[in-house]
Structure 1
Amino acid sequence: MKRTYFLLLLLVLNLAVQSCSDDQFSSLTKGGGAPGPVRDVRVENLPGAVKLSYVLPADENLLYVKAVYRLKSGEVESKASYLTDNITLEGFGDESEREVTLYAVSRSEKESAPVTVTIKPLTAPVFTVYQSLTAQETFGGIVVNFENTSADTKRVNSNMVIGVLTWDDSLGEWKQIDTHYSGLAKDQFAVRGLESRPYKFGIFIRDRWDNHSDTLKTTLKPVYEEEISKARWRDVRGLYPVPQTGVLPVSGNHMVEAVDYSTAYPIKNLWDGNVSNFFHTKTSFELPVWIPFDLGEPVKLSRYKIWQRPVSGIYFSHGNPHEWEIWGTNTPQDPASWVQLAHEIMVKPSGLPVGQNSADDRTVAAAGMEYDFRPDAPPVRYLAWKHIDNWASIQGEYGFLHMNELSLWGQLGQ
């Protein structure tokens, strides 16, 4: 029996060696001629793109349809499987007429006769987004708003890069100070860390095919702010009444204060200046829960930044905050004195499902995500994070919170 097994093993190894010596880059099949061409091509012009629909040739050896066309970068090819009867081509930076050549390709990589069609793409998203750009001064910088109508349809790639420049008088040239990535239909971002003096700004749009808009130029003066020191922040859970801001949806009880998961993840990790440590509450709280703390002095708050915990390297998941409110007061002993300063729902830049992150998602989350307080919010000494839900339990009735760091900006002595 052992001898028979050994001979069989030698035979298998010999066949494997012969197989490895064959040309691994040969066609799927060596037989068959070129397929017939596609026919009845229909053109649907889209923003910066075109959708071509066609009738496939009746050929069992057909593998894909290839489109050859020119972009700013030169001649490119796109392919569509034989399982579909259309192909969408993207990346066109102008509305001029041009030709696209289609080939049906067999499993042996033999091409049909070419079929050429004329297309005329609509205005590329970079230019329509540029037309919607607005910018205004805010605390420590500027806020940029824009709309991307192409993102509503999801029929073309709508991801954009928005670059912000400032003019450097000493060098006599523009320098880039910020970059924002977005595929949203309507978005806003802030450029911060600037002095309260006039700046000449330039804002432009770029897409993944390196199509550029013009540059919007404007002069704005950021409003003064400073980062609030965390040296005097302290935990005040258990010291004051919980505000009576409604009842919990399941039990009908009032909100409770969230307590720490363990001594390993205390609330002080939220303001220790280390974005690698994290604060973690106990799990299975009925939501929302209340997390108050003391800043040590009244502050007119302008904005804040939060850093998520990357669970197994994944952001926008698990106990990271999804929806929340921030409340403030100067008299925490009076439950009725608390006022709402902010309400946010975190949006993932890519829009991908929970558990899937794009490179932009990771970049944005790792840098910390920034939000504004209400401009009419009063100066307050005491803050409370009202945790409404997390990414693992969106609109859920039970959940928990973890977060790596919280930073605040504003004006002291107000």
Structure 2
Amino acid sequence: MQFKHLGKLCLVFMVCVTGFFSCNDERFIPIEDDGAAPGPVYDVRVENLAGGAKISYALPDDKNLLYIKAVYTLKSGQVESKASYLTNNIVLEGFGDEAEREVTLYAVSRSEKLSAPIKVNIKPLQAPVFTVFESLGINETFGGIVVDFENPTAVSGSVNSNMVIGTLRWDEQLKEWVQIDTYYSGLTKDQFAVRGLDSKPYKFGIFIKDRWDNHSDTLETELTPIYEEEIDKKKFKDIRTKYAVPQVGALPISGNRMVEGVDYSTAYPIPNLWDGNVANFFHTKSGFELPIWIPFDLGVSVKLSRYKIWQRAVAGGYFSHGNPHEWEIWGTNTPENPNSWVIIAHQEMIKPSGLPVGQNSADDRTIGAAGQEYNFNIDAPAVRYLAWKHIDNWASIRGEFGFLHVNELSLWGQPAK
């Protein structure tokens, strides 16, 4: 009886094994076989674009048509682009020169059968990588250089608009270029700074590269960064309640006087703002009428160049809750005179992704964790006393009431000697 069952099991096993090897011998083919290949596209029209082309066409009348395929050559070799049968055009990108070239179009069925090829010539306009290069402006700034550029063909939110701007420094000892910074941007107009350099002449080189590895030439220039140093935070002091709060700029909607932002509790005092620890944070009480005034003493008069703030990574992430959204920074050397304060910076924080509050992209999180840097007005006077004028936070954009929390604040400039 047992041998009979064993024999049946062996037979089942042999059938399974046979089936397994039979399946392995089969080729992977489309699930459908829809018969003949579709007809080709027709009435083809070309619109040459910056670094690419838009090819429009009429579709063949075939219910089994799935997509249109374009085959062409880029710097990296032969590539393909596809467009659904639901549209009548295909956009090609990534060309690094303006030479005329051939593109082959195929209509493709659901069973991957190709139509007869249709060949069309395109002649891309100047690639964006070179347009950006031609727009470059480079100037010295505090502790480094500042680079301006424009990318008029950029499409907001499109990865294809992204440019890599590389900054090089000539190393006299090595007798070669050394890359010291890489900046990424998909904006139509942008600016970035390269910092941390001594105040001495440097030979700089700037180049542009796109996602298809098209490169510009290198723009060479010699500049001398303006001297700056990080301001010693050990000299900072809280001066809230010591002087009268001036009434400057926009005031509370209610008409009440602007007030100072006092600490939420002893756990989050204002010295956390400058203790050098980006994990601690300063937190004001909640429910203040906005704006609120937060003055402090630098301990020395400074011609300020730039500052950097670190947001608090609350439950909603960066760019949320009491993190600053819009603010001003005011300065004076005579805080006892309420009329002596002058505005030296005004900023509205921009969220890189543009996503709603509470939703953060990887870039949002990276930038929030690294801290964000801003410049003071270039013509601002040297001042000893500063005041952060908190206009609104991310949880209360344009709101009447709010609060503020910030992990850390660092300042750079030229201290008075």
> When the two structures are superposed, what TM-score results if normalisation uses the length of structure 2?
0.86
Alignment partner of 2:279 out of 276, 280, 292: 276
AA partner of residue 323 (structure 2): N
Report what 2:269 is aligned to: 266
Report what 1:14 is aligned to: none
Report what 1:61 is aligned to: 64
Q: 1:47 to 1:279 in 2, by over 3 A?
A: farther
Alignment partner of 2:139 out of 126, 136, 139: 136
AA partner of residue 228 (structure 1): I
After TM superposition, the structure 1 stretch with the greater mean CA deviation from structure 2, 353-362 or 43-52, is: 353-362
Residue 302 of structure 2 contacts residue 383 of structure 2 at CA under 8 Å; is this kept in 1? yes
Q: CA RMSD in A?
A: 2.8
Instruction: Quote the Cα distance in structure 1 between the aligned partners of 2:359 and 2:64.
Output: 36
Larger Rg: 2
- CA deviation after TM superposition for structure 1 residue 170, in Å: 0.6
Instruction: Quote the Cα distance in structure 1 between the aligned partners of 2:272 and 2:28.
Output: 56
Alignment partner of 2:298 out of 286, 295, 311: 295
Report what 1:207 is aligned to: 210
AA partner of residue 328 (structure 2): E
Q: 1:79 to 1:311 in 2, by over 3 A?
A: farther
Q: 1:103 to 1:174 in 2, by over 3 A?
A: same
Q: 1:95 to 1:183 in 2, by over 3 A?
A: same
Report what 2:90 is aligned to: 87
Report what 2:14 is aligned to: none
Q: 1:247 to 1:164 in 2, by over 3 A?
A: closer
Instruction: Quote the Cα distance in structure 1 between the aligned partners of 2:351 and 2:27.
Output: 42
Alignment partner of 1:109 out of 97, 108, 112: 112
SS in 2 for 1:332: coil
AA partner of residue 126 (structure 1): V
After TM superposition, the structure 1 stretch with the greater mean CA deviation from structure 2, 82-91 or 26-35, is: 26-35
SS in 2 for 1:203: strand
Alignment partner of 2:343 out of 340, 343, 347: 340
Q: How many residues align?
A: 395
Structure 2, unaligned runs of 5 or more: 1-18
Instruction: Quote the Cα distance in structure 1 between the aligned partners of 2:393 and 2:42.
Output: 51
Report what 2:234 is aligned to: 231
AA partner of residue 372 (structure 2): M
Instruction: Quote the Cα distance in structure 1 between the aligned partners of 2:56 and 2:361.
Output: 30
Say yes or no: does 1:166 pair with 2:173.
no
SS in 1 for 2:273: helix
Q: 1:275 to 1:35 in 2, by over 3 A?
A: farther
Say yes or no: does 1:241 pair with 2:244.
yes
Instruction: Quote the Cα distance in structure 2 between the aligned partners of 1:133 and 1:333.
Output: 45
Structure 1, unaligned runs of 5 or more: 1-17
- CA deviation after TM superposition for structure 1 residue 152, in Å: 6.6
SS in 2 for 1:268: helix
Q: 1:339 to 1:25 in 2, by over 3 A?
A: farther
- CA deviation after TM superposition for structure 1 residue 236, in Å: 2.5
Post-superposition Cα deviations, 1:23-63, rounded to whole Å, max 9, x if no partner, equal 99653534443222222222121111222222222323222
Q: 1:105 to 1:399 in 2, by over 3 A?
A: farther
Q: 1:408 to 1:216 in 2, by over 3 A?
A: same
- CA deviation after TM superposition for structure 1 residue 90, in Å: 1.4
Residue 332 of structure 2 contacts residue 341 of structure 2 at CA under 8 Å; is this kept in 1? yes
Q: 1:32 to 1:275 in 2, by over 3 A?
A: farther
Report what 2:154 is aligned to: 151
Say yes or no: does 1:37 pair with 2:40.
yes
Q: 1:150 to 1:399 in 2, by over 3 A?
A: farther
AA partner of residue 343 (structure 2): Q
Q: 1:144 to 1:42 in 2, by over 3 A?
A: same
Report what 1:175 is aligned to: 178
Q: 1:213 to 1:352 in 2, by over 3 A?
A: farther
SS in 2 for 1:151: coil
- CA deviation after TM superposition for structure 1 residue 353, in Å: 5.5
- CA deviation after TM superposition for structure 1 residue 334, in Å: 2.1
Instruction: Quote the Cα distance in structure 1 between the aligned partners of 2:327 and 2:162.
Output: 27
After TM superposition, the structure 1 stretch with the greater mean CA deviation from structure 2, 152-161 or 113-122, is: 152-161
Report what 2:259 is aligned to: 256
Residue 332 of structure 2 contacts residue 383 of structure 2 at CA under 8 Å; is this kept in 1? yes
Residue 47 of structure 1 contacts residue 121 of structure 1 at CA under 8 Å; is this kept in 2? yes
Instruction: Quote the Cα distance in structure 1 between the aligned partners of 2:332 and 2:27.
Output: 71
Identity %: 74
After TM superposition, the structure 1 stretch with the greater mean CA deviation from structure 2, 397-406 or 374-383, is: 397-406
> When the two structures are superposed, what TM-score results if normalisation uses the length of structure 1?
0.86
Residue 231 of structure 2 contacts residue 412 of structure 2 at CA under 8 Å; is this kept in 1? yes
Instruction: Quote the Cα distance in structure 1 between the aligned partners of 2:87 and 2:281.
Output: 48
- CA deviation after TM superposition for structure 1 residue 185, in Å: 1.6
